[in-house]
């Protein structure tokens, strides 16, 4: 995956993405978000802000969805999987429920202290761990295992020792506190929330799961002449750009609606 350097435009859109590693609707949005990033890669920039979705079950109550304990989260994840088509391991809330998302958020910030690219790559690995494999990302040993897999990736440049130190010396915690303060000051209370900003247009806010076309509409509201990639998306090019992908993400990118054939080994 490339970084978020911007070239070739006189104006661009900056996107702040408020999210959380345990947010199933953020995972559901990955196909649209990744396609948007790929198609408009030369005209947008972005950053992630960790929202702290689940402080702990003693401090959590979702009155809208009637969720007060882990087992009640499973149906929400089932709904996200059904609506989005993304694979989601909802049984984690029965078999090994995370106690909080705070430590996972801190871990993302620890990776991000090394680079924004590494922060995003680590966030993706966290999501794959919990959403695809049902791993408990509230446990420090799981977070370190995922960090180790990132460090073992060729040319990642990820420093595992520094990551572990920042997880323990409060540097990651302080970075997460800044994110929490931003979330609270902006009144963000639902994830995902994306704030689109540009020099010549008032900021626009998009909350919740949305189709790809809705995200594109926001970009074009802000910059009608916004640039896109000239070449059509190919399976090979999209895989090379992102690396790890679900079938649903490939389908979204190539507009196959679930009938995309598997790539040959």
**Contact yes or no for 216/38 (Cβ under 8 A):** no
Out of 1-10, 183-192, 229-238, which region has the weakest mean confidence (pLDDT)?
1-10
pLDDT at 146: 98
- Cβ neighbours for 213, distance < 8 A, ≥ 6 positions apart: none
pLDDT at 26: 98
Q: Which long-range contacts (CB under 8 A, 24 or more apart) does 151-158 make?
A: 156/118, 156/121, 157/114, 157/115, 157/118, 158/111, 158/114, 158/118, 158/122
Domain assignment present for residue 168? The answer is yes
Q: How does pLDDT run across 79-98, given as a tens digit for each residue?
A: 999 999 999 999 999 999 99
SS3 state at 206: strand
**Contact yes or no for 44/8 (Cβ under 8 A):** no
SS3 state at 172: helix
pLDDT at 4: 44
**Token pair recorded at residue 4:** 């978020």
Domain assignment present for residue 217? The answer is yes
Name 50's bridge partners: 19
Name 16's bridge partners: 47, 195
When pLDDT is cut at 50, 70 and 90, the band that residue 116 belongs to is very high
When pLDDT is cut at 50, 70 and 90, the band that residue 217 belongs to is very high
C-alpha 160/C-alpha 151 separation (Å) is: 6
DSSP conformation class of 128:
I
At residue 235, does pLDDT exceed 80? yes
pLDDT at 68: 77
| 156: Cα separation from own chain's centroid | 19
Domain assignment present for residue 135? The answer is yes
Domain assignment present for residue 2? The answer is no
DSSP-derived pairing of the beta strands 201-207 and 13-19:
unpaired
Average pLDDT, the chain: 90
pLDDT at 232: 87
Sign of CA dihedral 47, 133, 27, 257: positive
pLDDT at 143: 98
CATH number at residue 146: 3.40.30.10
Q: How does pLDDT run across 184-208, given as a tens digit for each residue?
A: 999 999 999 999 999 989 999 999 9
How far apart, in Å, are the Cα atoms of 66 and each of 72, 73, 74, 189?
8, 9, 12, 16
Domain assignment present for residue 262? The answer is no
SS3 state at 174: helix
pLDDT at 61: 65
At residue 35, does pLDDT exceed 60? yes
Q: How does pLDDT run across 119-160, given as a tens digit for each residue?
A: 999 999 999 999 999 999 999 999 999 999 999 987 889 999
| Range(s) of the domain holding residue 137 | 13-254
Domain assignment present for residue 4? The answer is no
Structural domain tally of the chain? 1
Domain assignment present for residue 101? The answer is yes
When pLDDT is cut at 50, 70 and 90, the band that residue 62 belongs to is confident
The rounded radius of gyration (Å) of the Cα atoms in the chain is 18
């Amino acid at each position: 995956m490339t970084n978020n350097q911007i070239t070739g435009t006189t104006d661009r859109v900056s996107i702040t993405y408020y999210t959380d590693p345990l947010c199933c609707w953020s995972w559901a949005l990955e196909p649209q978000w990744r396609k948007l990033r790929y198609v408009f890669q030369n005209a947008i920039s972005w950053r992630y802000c960790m929202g702290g979705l689940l402080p702990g079950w003693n401090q959590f109550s979702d009155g809208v969805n009637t969720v007060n304990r882990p087992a009640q989260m499973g149906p929400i994840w089932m709904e996200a999987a059904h609506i989005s088509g993304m694979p989601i391991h909802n049984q984690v809330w029965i078999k090994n429920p995370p106690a909080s998302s705070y430590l996972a958020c801190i871990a993302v910030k620890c990776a991000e202290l090394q680079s924004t690219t590494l922060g995003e790559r680590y966030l993706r690995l966290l999501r794959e761990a919990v959403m695809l494999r049902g791993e408990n990302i509230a446990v420090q040993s799981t977070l370190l295992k995922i960090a180790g897999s990132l460090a073992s990736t060729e040319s990642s440049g990820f420093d595992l020792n520094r990551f572990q130190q920042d997880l323990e010396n409060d540097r990651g915690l302080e970075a997460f506190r800044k994110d929490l303060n931003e979330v609270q000051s902006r009144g963000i209370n639902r994830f995902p929330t994306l704030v689109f900003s540009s020099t010549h247009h008032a900021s626009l806010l998009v909350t919740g799961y949305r189709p790809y076309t809705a995200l594109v509409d926001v970009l074009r509201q802000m910059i009608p002449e916004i640039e896109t990639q000239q070449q059509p998306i190919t399976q090979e090019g999209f895989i090379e750009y992102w690396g790890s992908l679900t079938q649903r993400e490939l389908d979204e990118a190539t507009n196959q609606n679930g009938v995309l054939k598997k790539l040959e080994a």
